[in-house]
Structure 1
Amino acid sequence: MTKSEKIQIVAKLEEGFRASEAIVVCNYKGLSTKKLEELRNNARENNVKVQIIKNTLARIALENSDKKGLELKDTNVYLWGEDYLNVSKVAAKFEENNEFFQIKTAFIENEIADIAKVRALAKMPSRNELLAMLLQVWNAPITNFTIGLNALKNKKESE
């Protein structure tokens, strides 16, 4: 790889890392190509980017995007995106189903996060799920009121 190619890769990564709310670093050693493709497809559906990057290039891109302090060793696959819940969910779900895939570290909301935080965020409901729950709570009194009125109407008609 030439120096100009490396510079282009770092610039592209820097742009992606700067726009992201979460970056999760995972070990993929021993994972088959088919499984990696499965991870990429799942990530694409959730607007999460996945890429295997050399640690030196990733370190430079992370430092240039003001996301410093991640420990980068061995073989790593990087997951990042604008919604930290989606990134956490993709990583944690894939980790549950694959013994060779392990979350190592993360950078979430401008601070270094441990594995436990990534897993905890993965269990949280997404924004759309929370909105659906809120709508159910708001609709419950109206629904119960209309059911009661309908029952009262039926009772009055039967008398």
Structure 2
Amino acid sequence: MTRTEKAEFISSLTEEFKASDGLIVCDYKGLKTKALETLRNASRPDAIKVKVIKNTLASIAMTNAGIEGLELKDTNIFVWGDDQLLVTKVVADFAKTNQNFVIKSGFCAGEVVDATKIEALSKMPSRNELIGMLLSTWMAPITNFTIGLDALRAKKQDSE
């Protein structure tokens, strides 16, 4: 990679890191290529990016994006996207099925988080799940009212 290519790569990576809401750094040492493809395929529908990047290039891009505090050592794979909960869910689900995939740390909502916090975030309901819960709560009185009216109608039909 030439110097200009590296500069272009760093600038594009900086913009992607700035636009992302969640960035997670994981260790993938010993992971087979098919497993990495499985991770990439699982992340594609949610517009989550998965990339192996040299630590020096990633460090420069993260510094330019205002992300500080992440230590980059050994082999790292970077996973980032617009929705931090989706990123944490994809990473945590993949880590459950692959022992060689280890969550190191991340940067979510403007702060550095460790692996336990990432796993805790992955267990939270997503935005769509929360909207579904809210709608079911709002619909419960209407549903109960219609069930009661139907029971009343059935009772009146039985008495006639």
Q: Counterpart of 2:144?
A: 144
Q: Counterpart of 2:3?
A: 3
- The CA deviation at 1:106 is 0.4
- Give the 3-state SS of the residue equivalent to 2:155 in structure 1: helix
- Give the 3-state SS of the residue equivalent to 2:104 in structure 1: strand
How many residue pairs get matched?
159
Cα deviations across residues 49-105 of structure 1 (Å, max 9, x unaligned)?
110000000000000011011100000000001100011111111000000000001
Opposite residue 119 of structure 2, the aligned amino acid is R
Q: Counterpart of 1:66?
A: 66
Opposite residue 27 of structure 2, the aligned amino acid is N
List aligned pairs for 1:83-98, cutoff 5 A. Answer: 83-98=83-98
RMSD value, Cα: 0.7
CA distance in 2, matches of 1:45, 1:97: 19
1:80 and 2:80 are equivalent in the alignment:
yes
- Give the 3-state SS of the residue equivalent to 1:125 in structure 2: coil
CA distance in 2, matches of 1:105, 1:6: 25
Structure-1-length-normalised TM-score? 0.98
Opposite residue 142 of structure 2, the aligned amino acid is I
Over the matched positions of the two proteins, sequence identity in percent amounts to 55
Structure 1: any 5+ residue segments left out of the alignment? none
- Give the 3-state SS of the residue equivalent to 2:145 in structure 1: helix
CA distance in 2, matches of 1:111, 1:26: 17
